[in-house]
Structure 1
Amino acid sequence: MSTTTVCIAQAKTLGNAVPPFTPHAISVSLPTWKDNVGYEEGEKRVVDSMVTGYPRFFIHRSIQQLASICEQKFGVADECCILVPSRKIAEECRAFLLKLSPDPTNLIPVRLVQFLIEDETGASRHVGTLPSVELHIVLFPAQHFPLAKQFWQHTGLGISSRLAEHCLALISTASNSPKSTSPTIRTSPCKPSNRHYLVKSPISPSVTRKHQDSQPQIETFDAEQGTYLEERYGRNMPLTAAPAAKRALRRRIAGVLVHDEPGDCPSGPCAGNEEAKLGPSSRGENVSEDDVYLFPTGMTAIWSAHQLALAARPPARSVCFGFPYTDTLKILEKWGPGCHFFGHGLDADIDDLESLLVELTRSQDATGNTAGKSPPILALFCEFPSNPLLRSPNLPRLRALADKHDFLIVVDETVGNFVNVEVLPHVDIVVSSLTKVFSGDSNVMGGSLVLNPRARHYAALKATLEASYEDNYFAEDAIFMERNSRDFKRRIHVMNTSGEAVCDFLRSRSLAATPPPPHAVIKEVFYPKFITRENFDLCRNRSEDGAEDEPYFGPLFSITFTTKAASEAFFDALPCHKGPSLGTNFTLACPYTVLAHYTELDWAQKYGVEEGLVRVSVGLEGREQLLADFEIAIKAAEATA
């Protein structure tokens, strides 16, 4: 297949769902480097092609439609809204808007409305769906939508597209009922209280909806067809079985299932049944399903971990250790007292962190008020390994500092995943995006938070979380996640071996090879096998008897090139899906820095995240096919030299 053929074929996919024909797709096709830049710059050619996008950045069209109905029903002139699943979240959103009001003397007017949508026909009883939904609407002047969108993006707390579709179906049912011309509504207006990749939706949902007739449409089934197909061929359960699905997910994440294979129970989640056989956790002594909490997105889990730390521990700034996924840093900066940023995440940064801790402790001592002295920092947040540089921090050394200075450690293990690494014994809280490799199918969002029962502050964290936790994970999303994750371990083992083979191949064609090939244009391959390997090995999984098994490094890696032209040529020629997200069952690539940091390229460069960096997540395709595909891309890049 020639490079030209690849580019022509991929150009036809611009703006479409990835995977194709997936109504709730997590990714969107941006097949060329120029397309990614065009989207970041709001180029009409690209923006007009978008039918979907990553859910925390692009508001799904079902959510847009529902928001339009809510604005018409409850809004006043020039108001728009965002939709959330609970009153508590609506109040968090209002607090965020008030805190960040552009003019502190004239706070943004925010109204909260509760909208109860009920099925008055009784149809839900016959099809196993939920009979009612309590929707919460945050209304504000349309000019402040970009600020409200930050809350949506950073926290991941907005409603899911499946919940929006369910609401639309209930509204349609109620509207067609002979008993009523509109759904049952309860409203409770509230007065304002006193005080990435950057895949953007460039205008507010209300503005987008005005032009929806001219937008490309996604090929979808109606609700009955979709439900039938998933329950008949996709092995999905009815929505009323969501508690069993969530129980299965918590057990799977806790590692307490003795038998958890896809073939064990093809018609439903045996893992969630009361009679499921449970044993000691594979993740550490005393870990149980009760230590696992589910959230609608991975970012919600991170935001909730930070909120938990703020509620359970004395207030202080946090530490962001290593260059993180963009929204993690935003959460630490915009909520609470702020954060200290150690953007390289290398061992030398631990030296600097230790110096900071000593300095902060000394400053506290100098005040003379040592009776109620607080820890110098609240918590340290890091990734293992990091995205996109695949660096692994020295967790045992950080744990020793945390024990000495009494702060929490929160680790995002999304990239490492608990099959490959074992970080829980070293930390207080583990968070993960289940959206990624745990799901694999790229059609549902989800997140998890796991407490370490052997950690010093476990009792306080557990009590605080039990008192504050809300289960806002929509039933249908949980059911899809449970189904997708049944073969998680099998898939990750395939991706591990393919990912390592591809990275070995790319490194052999890079400047790091001995000797380097004469026309090498690959500067560096960022992969845990090659980057901070000694730290990765400290936390990699081993056999139950402690034997030195062959390490697995995961399916994610990044590449940098000697020139920007080589980066663009490699990316454009690579014959795979192109778009945001990672951990998908298919290989997925993106120009990460362009998508995540287009408005701050110089800042990212300071921490080694180059503009020309390409991030790749290897899927389940055959190894030989993958190597052939990457050969095509390398030749295109080398042709620019």
Structure 2
Amino acid sequence: MGETNLSLGLSVPPDTPHAISVSLPTWRDNVGYEEGEEAVVKKMVSGYPRFFIHLGIQKLAALCEQKYALGTERCMLFATQKVAEQCRSFIQARSAALGAPVNARLVNLFICPEDSQDGGGPKLDRSSIGGSCADLHVVLFPGSSFSVAKEFWQHTGLGISSRFAEKCLSLLAESSAKSAVPTPASPLPGRVFPTKGQNRHYSALKKSPTSAAYPTPPPSATLPLSEDLDSVYLEERYGRNLPLQAAAFAKKALRSRVAGVLVKDNSGQSCSGDKELVLGPSTRGVKEVSAEDVYLLPTGMSAIWTAHQAALATRPSAKSVCFGFPYIDTLKILQKWGPGCHFLGFGTDSDIDELEKILEAEYQRDPTTPPILALFTEFPSNPLLRSADLPRIRALADKYNFLIVIDETIGNFVNVEVFPYADMVVSSLTKVFSGASNVMGGSLVLNPAGRHYSALKNHFSANFEDVYFDEDAIYMERNSRDFKRRIRVIDSNAEAVCDYLYSKSLASGNTTFPAVIKDVYYPKYVTREKYDICRIKTPDAEDDKIGGFGGLFSLTFTCMEGAKAFFDALPCYKGPSLGTNFTLACPFTILAHYTELDWAAQYGVEAGIVRISVGMEDSATLLKSFESALKAAEAVVLEQTAATNSV
């Protein structure tokens, strides 16, 4: 398992410049992080990208602020004008709703080194990923509204990636090195060209002596320039000058893989662009699904946000439904964009009963329009691993004419088949599909057999914008080639661990003293009959195996001190995210709902939950690790019991 002594704040995995998790090794560290304690925060050199802005992005943003900010303005960075405008609109609308309206403005920068110019005008060099230039869109806003802008960054997942920032920084460094000026006077070395049509608005802007910049990272967090990374980090298995066709092929392979149309997914296949993919009917449960129905996005959350935007654009206005306790940002998206949502946070049959009442009441109020816009649900849910009764919900959608959007991230399409019940299926490719915890990505897939397919397809044909950075796509393609094999190993490991822990839990009927584990939340034990409806029963053609129960589970404990002791003693990486090739644990509710613990508890999400994503380690080693953590927790309970009895 992972190093047990990985220091607070370091990247997980270690020595990975684009890691998507961070080491929070103790329960106290997680509380300190949530409370913003300086001793914890100043050690953070990494974090989950939608919450912790990568140091490279911070550095680039600071340069933009130094150059273009007025007064105490801050900024957010995006890859296209469309996303930047969406961010500006959100900042203005959200700040007004909060009673303190502000304006935001845009700067569009085209960054090129000197030798990429021809006759004084920009000239793209298409010989490397994304060309040798970078198009950067900057949203500037009052510093007091940074938290509002951060909501857009977090909820939509549409901010630039760390690799995109690294590209911009390397272009600036390259331009600076070629300029024979050791220390450029401008904080933005090289040539920066405002886009035509916006130059008249911003050409007169000058650096303000009071401009606010991002906090200076600690010395230990210094970000190396991209040209140094190849020799330092093992994750850099590709060269820096791949042809553009490699990125196009990587995206094609990814879309085909997600669509389930690859006849044989060769894990050794080169991403050279000179090989044709061998395609066949989809294995996703709806054979008509094709790669053309798959849309790649920068993050799983951006896939959910995009699905909601598509629903808003193609259907009559109405509230959505968030069914089951979701990952936090899904609910926030439904609440902050559009008319709002109904939250049915248990995700059980009783909530479907409640859904039927809502639908009927809305229909009676106005039978000329669908009673709700769309229903969003996870299968199974995070962190309670509950599975909704999808056939019953599908029947309601057909009766009342609303969309169903299913997030299959946790179940994943090696294990479950949810397409027959959905209009759109979304997933965080960041998780087990990638596994390496070094790149973000998401997918949205339309169901061609759905009654709303034509309207949705027309919408995406007219409006979809590919904002997935090419180099991120190349890493995602490489990581995902063997995702089926990895999922089989992870499924087997997780089931073995859960069977052991469940046997020690009160839920299993265990009465051995001291009882520490109260329950194990895992699809094998939670709403099993609902999960089995969608669990793949037909053996896979490649490995002759049926669907498993996934690699994620959660534990509740008989006392908070037992939970803390178990977490602290568990010898694995500790940090946010899931679906990694290595075992990763976190005190889920503390990290996701620290400011709303009572609200989460209403839906059974206790403050003491420990969520564990099982990895590919040796099964026997895993079991010994969990056994040792359980013994540590039992020792604490015994000690507390003895102290209580002695009083």
Compute the TM-score of the two structures, normalised by the length of structure 1: 0.90
Q: What's the secondary structure of 1:121's corresponding residue?
A: helix
Map of 1:577 onto structure 2? 573
Q: CA deviation at 1:228?
A: 10
Map of 1:226 onto structure 2? 230
Aligned partner (choices 253, 260, 264) of residue 255 of structure 1: 260
Q: For 1:48 and 1:231, how far apart are their aligned partners in 2?
A: 26
Map of 1:603 onto structure 2? 599
Cα gap change, 1:189 to 1:129, in 2 (>3 Å): closer
Map of 2:193 onto structure 1? 185
Cα gap change, 1:467 to 1:549, in 2 (>3 Å): same
Q: CA deviation at 1:543?
A: 1.3
Map of 1:588 onto structure 2? 584
Q: CA deviation at 1:73?
A: 1.7
1:424 aligns with 2:419: yes
Cα gap change, 1:245 to 1:551, in 2 (>3 Å): closer
Q: Deviations over 1:307-328 (max 9, x none)?
A: 0000011110000000000000
Moved more, 123-132 or 24-33: 123-132
Aligned partner (choices 439, 448, 451) of residue 453 of structure 1: 448
Map of 2:27 onto structure 1? 33
Map of 1:73 onto structure 2? 67
1:310 aligns with 2:305: no
Map of 2:616 onto structure 1? 620
Q: CA deviation at 1:496?
A: 0.4
Map of 1:197 onto structure 2? none
Q: CA deviation at 1:551?
A: 4.5
Compute the TM-score of the two structures, normalised by the length of structure 2: 0.90
Q: For 2:137 and 2:20, how far apart are their aligned partners in 1?
A: 24
Map of 2:86 onto structure 1? 92
Cα gap change, 1:451 to 1:236, in 2 (>3 Å): farther
- Give yes or no for contact 1:49–1:215 (8 Å, CA) kept in 2: no
Q: For 1:106 and 1:610, how far apart are their aligned partners in 2?
A: 35
Cα gap change, 1:545 to 1:583, in 2 (>3 Å): closer
- Give yes or no for contact 2:66–2:213 (8 Å, CA) kept in 1: no
Map of 1:332 onto structure 2? 334
Map of 1:565 onto structure 2? 561
- Give yes or no for contact 1:242–1:475 (8 Å, CA) kept in 2: yes
Q: Deviations over 1:247-289 (max 9, x none)?
A: 01000001111121213x2xx237x656221111111211100
Q: What's the secondary structure of 2:114's corresponding residue?
A: coil
Cα gap change, 1:218 to 1:414, in 2 (>3 Å): farther
Letter in 2 for 1:47: V
Q: Deviations over 1:87-113 (max 9, x none)?
A: 111111111111111578863121111
Q: CA deviation at 1:353?
A: 0.4
Map of 1:520 onto structure 2? 515
1:473 aligns with 2:459: no
- Give yes or no for contact 2:293–2:445 (8 Å, CA) kept in 1: yes
Q: CA deviation at 1:542?
A: 2.1
Letter in 1 for 2:459: T
Map of 1:353 onto structure 2? 355
Q: For 1:154 and 1:132, how far apart are their aligned partners in 2?
A: 28
Q: CA deviation at 1:52?
A: 1.0
1:275 aligns with 2:281: no
Cα gap change, 1:128 to 1:468, in 2 (>3 Å): closer
Q: Deviations over 1:119-157 (max 9, x none)?
A: 332596676662221111000111110110010000001
Q: For 2:58 and 2:567, how far apart are their aligned partners in 1?
A: 32
- Give yes or no for contact 1:79–1:141 (8 Å, CA) kept in 2: yes
Q: CA deviation at 1:525?
A: 0.1
Moved more, 230-239 or 620-629: 230-239
Q: For 2:581 and 2:614, how far apart are their aligned partners in 1?
A: 8
Map of 1:217 onto structure 2? 221
Map of 1:552 onto structure 2? 548
Q: Deviations over 1:154-200 (max 9, x none)?
A: 000110010001011112222333499631311527989xxxxxxxx
Q: What's the secondary structure of 2:481's corresponding residue?
A: helix
- Give yes or no for contact 1:111–1:190 (8 Å, CA) kept in 2: no
Cα gap change, 1:278 to 1:147, in 2 (>3 Å): same
Q: Deviations over 1:279-308 (max 9, x none)?
A: 111112111000000000000000000000
- Give yes or no for contact 2:166–2:225 (8 Å, CA) kept in 1: no
Q: What's the secondary structure of 1:417's corresponding residue?
A: coil
Cα gap change, 1:419 to 1:105, in 2 (>3 Å): closer
- Give yes or no for contact 2:108–2:136 (8 Å, CA) kept in 1: yes
Q: For 1:132 and 1:233, how far apart are their aligned partners in 2?
A: 23
Map of 1:344 onto structure 2? 346
Q: For 2:487 and 2:240, how far apart are their aligned partners in 1?
A: 22
Q: For 1:103 and 1:336, how far apart are their aligned partners in 2?
A: 13
Q: For 1:116 and 1:220, how far apart are their aligned partners in 2?
A: 23
Q: CA deviation at 1:399?
A: 0.2
- Give yes or no for contact 2:520–2:555 (8 Å, CA) kept in 1: yes
Q: What is the percentage of aligned positions where both structures have the same residue?
A: 57
Moved more, 325-334 or 60-69: 60-69
Moved more, 580-589 or 237-246: 237-246
- Give yes or no for contact 1:384–1:393 (8 Å, CA) kept in 2: yes
Map of 1:245 onto structure 2? 250
- Give yes or no for contact 2:112–2:190 (8 Å, CA) kept in 1: no
Map of 2:294 onto structure 1? 292
- Give yes or no for contact 2:406–2:424 (8 Å, CA) kept in 1: yes
> Which runs of 5 or more structure 1 residues have no equivalent in the other structure?
193-205, 366-372
Moved more, 274-283 or 300-309: 274-283
Cα gap change, 1:190 to 1:37, in 2 (>3 Å): farther
Cα gap change, 1:429 to 1:273, in 2 (>3 Å): farther
Q: CA deviation at 1:216?
A: 2.8
Q: For 1:632 and 1:105, how far apart are their aligned partners in 2?
A: 52
Map of 1:323 onto structure 2? 325
Q: What's the secondary structure of 1:13's corresponding residue?
A: coil
Letter in 1 for 2:405: V
Q: For 1:522 and 1:208, how far apart are their aligned partners in 2?
A: 47
1:539 aligns with 2:539: no
Map of 2:119 onto structure 1? none
- Give yes or no for contact 1:113–1:136 (8 Å, CA) kept in 2: yes
Letter in 2 for 1:167: C
Q: For 1:397 and 1:18, how far apart are their aligned partners in 2?
A: 40
Aligned partner (choices 470, 473, 478) of residue 483 of structure 1: 478
Q: CA deviation at 1:515?
A: 4.0
1:414 aligns with 2:409: yes
Q: For 1:29 and 1:231, how far apart are their aligned partners in 2?
A: 18
Q: What's the secondary structure of 2:192's corresponding residue?
A: coil
Letter in 2 for 1:618: V
- Give yes or no for contact 1:154–1:327 (8 Å, CA) kept in 2: yes
Letter in 2 for 1:17: S
Q: CA deviation at 1:639?
A: 1.2
Cα gap change, 1:259 to 1:565, in 2 (>3 Å): same
Q: For 1:237 and 1:489, how far apart are their aligned partners in 2?
A: 29
Letter in 2 for 1:91: E
Letter in 1 for 2:107: V
Q: For 1:358 and 1:606, how far apart are their aligned partners in 2?
A: 26
Q: CA deviation at 1:383?
A: 0.1
Q: What's the secondary structure of 2:520's corresponding residue?
A: strand
1:165 aligns with 2:166: yes
Moved more, 38-47 or 375-384: 38-47
Letter in 1 for 2:422: V
Q: What's the secondary structure of 1:640's corresponding residue?
A: helix
Count of aligned residue pairs for this structure pair = 609
Map of 2:429 onto structure 1? 434
Q: For 1:39 and 1:355, how far apart are their aligned partners in 2?
A: 41
Q: What's the secondary structure of 2:305's corresponding residue?
A: helix
- Give yes or no for contact 2:374–2:403 (8 Å, CA) kept in 1: yes
Cα gap change, 1:332 to 1:427, in 2 (>3 Å): same
Cα gap change, 1:172 to 1:224, in 2 (>3 Å): same
